[in-house]
Amino acid sequence: MHITYLTGSYRPDQDGVADYLANLRSHLHRRDITSTVLTTHDSARAMADPTVQGAISQWQVPQLVPLVQRILVTPTDLLHIQHAAGSYRFERSVFLLPLLLKLAGYRRPIVTTAHEYGWWEWQPRWFPAPWLERLKTWGQARTWWDREDGFLLTGSDAILTTNENITRIMQERLPSRRDRMVTIPIAANLAVTPIDRASARQQLRHACGWPEDAQIVTFFGFLHPVKGIEPLVQGFQSVVEAQPQARLLLMGGVETLALRGKDAEQYWQKIQTQIRDLSLTDHVHCTGYIDADRASRYLSGSDLGVLPFNPGISLKSGSLLALLAHRLPTIATCTAETDAVLSEQGVIAPVPPRDSAALGEAIAALLQNPATQQRLAAAGHRFVQSFSWDAIADRHCDIYRGLLTPTTVETAHPA
């Protein structure tokens, strides 16, 4: 079986959706399912991988015509679209793609994974709002289009989501497509490197130039304004005042699809300035982007994990699952959706978002409570066992095979 994936960008080092897709492709390859990625020319050049091919320069409507032509001539068994607004630079042209493909004679199955949904409706200022609402409602009621994603969902033979909340909203809007919707939770975005924890602790403290008795609190993920980095650094000042042996490790790069070039550099410098102004230079270390093996070793050598995201953590956070997989007792901000699942089940220690004082108090309290650390670590590790890449790959295999009836299967060759 050969799959063609379409994604807005394919830079696993800068984008969570691309990292997800890279993991998915790797696990499917072990099951003899090969794949080609069609994406932007910039991404293809950066990857320098023959299975990652540039098909479009920018996600704008005029460029969809050559993209359709490229898909039509690409040998494959089915097309699987990965969608998240940011990876397409918040352009909506891809919402027309299933319709254009079918008008052009494309007859292979189309699958769409919606990594985000329920927050990004089209509201142009030049179109009268009452008329637009009538148009959205009228077409959605007939399942011609969806009020948020145009023809992307209604034109797909299978619709995959990464959490139940997204699925629920879709089912309410497109009840006649419920039988096509499947929820497949994500897994940790970082495999656990086998290492003795004592060795990992020693290696991490040596790499950062910290003493052997340092208690290390680690943030893992892209450093971004919405991740609560600034409240975390601010709150950590009070932790150090009470516990001088405490250290904060900010592990991850800044350059992402949402924060690029000059903007990324300015934010990096803003964090460095905050660290200096709070006299935390000896207590906070920023790694920048590091490879997966070293990141795993650093997590295994840490004492606590912390994810103070401004909008709250969600079950589609690969960073959260990675911390739990590494048996780290974790402090995180919650949403209404995840509070009952994560905090009430003792998986995380919850804190309110954007509250540096509460964050500092939570970190200090947990560092002083080994029993609570052990309980959280055990609960988190049990919880994360149900999120695995093998399970994700198996579900995809089942969906692909269910769509590929003898009348639709064509001989596919890796491009």
CATH number at residue 261: 3.40.50.2000
> For residues 224 and 212, what is the distance between their CA atoms, to the nearest angstrom?
30
pLDDT tens figures, 70-121: 999 999 999 999 999 989 989 999 999 999 999 999 999 999 999 999 888 8
Which pair of tokens denotes residue 388?
């695995």
Domain count, the chain: 2
The reply to whether 306 and 395 lie within a common domain is: no
The reply to whether 296 and 154 lie within a common domain is: no
Is 414 within a domain? no
The reply to whether 292 and 375 lie within a common domain is: yes
The reply to whether 85 and 137 lie within a common domain is: yes
The reply to whether 393 and 380 lie within a common domain is: no
Is 409 within a domain? no
Torsion angles phi and psi, residue 254, rounded to 5: -105, -35
Dihedral-angle region of residue 312 (phi above 0 means left; psi in -120 to 50 means alpha; beta otherwise): left
Is 412 within a domain? no
Q: How confident is the model at residue 15 (pLDDT cuts 50, 70, 90)?
A: confident
The reply to whether 104 and 149 lie within a common domain is: yes
pLDDT recorded at residue 340 = 63
Q: How confident is the model at residue 406 (pLDDT cuts 50, 70, 90)?
A: low
Q: Percent of the chain beyond pLDDT 90?
A: 76
The reply to whether 229 and 162 lie within a common domain is: no
> For residues 206 and 147, what is the distance between their CA atoms, to the nearest angstrom?
54
What number of other Cβ atoms are within 10 A of residue 368's Cβ?
A: 12
Strands in 349-351's sheet, in edge-to-edge order, are 284-288, 246-251, 215-220, 304-307, 330-333, 349-351
Q: Does the pLDDT of residue 35 top 80, yes or no? A: yes
Which pair of tokens denotes residue 165?
């909340």
Is 289 within a domain? yes
The reply to whether 364 and 393 lie within a common domain is: no
Is 408 within a domain? no
Q: Does the pLDDT of residue 338 top 60, yes or no? A: yes
pLDDT (mean) for 160-166: 91
Q: Give the chain's mean pLDDT.
A: 91
What secondary structure letter does DSSP report for 162?
A: S
pLDDT tens figures, 176-195: 999 999 999 988 878 899 99
Q: Does the pLDDT of residue 413 top 50, yes or no? A: no
Q: Does the pLDDT of residue 409 top 50, yes or no? A: no
Q: How confident is the model at residue 414 (pLDDT cuts 50, 70, 90)?
A: very low
pLDDT recorded at residue 13 = 81
The reply to whether 125 and 221 lie within a common domain is: no
The reply to whether 376 and 394 lie within a common domain is: no
Counts for the chain of helices (H) and strands (E), in that order: 16, 13
pLDDT recorded at residue 415 = 37
The reply to whether 225 and 368 lie within a common domain is: yes
pTM above 0.85, yes or no: no
Strands in 181-183's sheet, in edge-to-edge order, are 52-56, 34-40, 2-7, 78-83, 110-114, 158-161, 181-183
pLDDT (mean) for 257-265: 82
The reply to whether 168 and 288 lie within a common domain is: no
Q: Does the pLDDT of residue 337 top 90, yes or no? A: no
Say if residues 6 and 152 touch (Cβ distance below 8 Å): no
Is 192 within a domain? no
Domain that holds residue 258: 197-384
pLDDT (mean) for 320-334: 93
Is 118 within a domain? yes
pLDDT recorded at residue 367 = 96
Q: Which residue has the tokens 């200022």?
A: 125
Is 110 within a domain? yes
